Amino acid sequence: MLPAWLRAAARRVLLAVAAGVAVGVGGVVAFALRDGLRTATEQVFALGALAFGVGLLGWSGSVMAGRGFENMQRYLDTGSDWTESDSRRAMSRVTGFGVGVMVAASVATAGL
């Protein structure tokens, strides 16, 4: 049995991947009608990779420097309620979404 935190994290990422797949398939179909399949795949894949890159960088950046940022904001009295754990969770969703779009772009091309 997986620990609760791992189950929650997996559910979060999988839901984001599913959303990404849905958006990716829709994106390929929409772009393909306008620009042709190859261009559509390339654009949707690149957009997915963009989300994946931002998510991955944001997630690892949060883990790496999040505590420092929290401290800095506290000392500078910015009044922000940004936290490392919130950022990590949000970024894991963005990463999952990006992966979903990338996979969908690849699979949709093969299917169409």
Residues that bind other proteins (CB under 8 A): 41-43, 45-47, 49-50, 52-61, 63-65, 67-69, 71-72, 75-77, 102, 105-106, 109
Please report how close the Cβ of residue 74 comes to other proteins at its closest, in angstroms.
8
43/83 with CB nearer other proteins: 43
Please report how close the Cβ of residue 47 comes to other proteins at its closest, in angstroms.
7
Please report how close the Cβ of residue 1 comes to other proteins at its closest, in angstroms.
26
8/46 with CB nearer other proteins: 46
1/76 with CB nearer other proteins: 76
**Residue in the structure block whose two tokens are 């991955």:** 56
CA 111 to chain centre: 24
Contacts for 4 with CB less than 8 Å, ≥ 6 apart? none
- The dihedral over CA atoms of 61, 63, 95, 38, expressed in degrees to the nearest 10, equals 30
77/81 with CB nearer other proteins: 77
Helices (H) and strands (E) in the chain, counts: 3, 0
Residue from 26, 51, 46 nearest 108 by CA: 26
CA distance 18 to 86: 21
Please report how close the Cβ of residue 4 comes to other proteins at its closest, in angstroms.
22
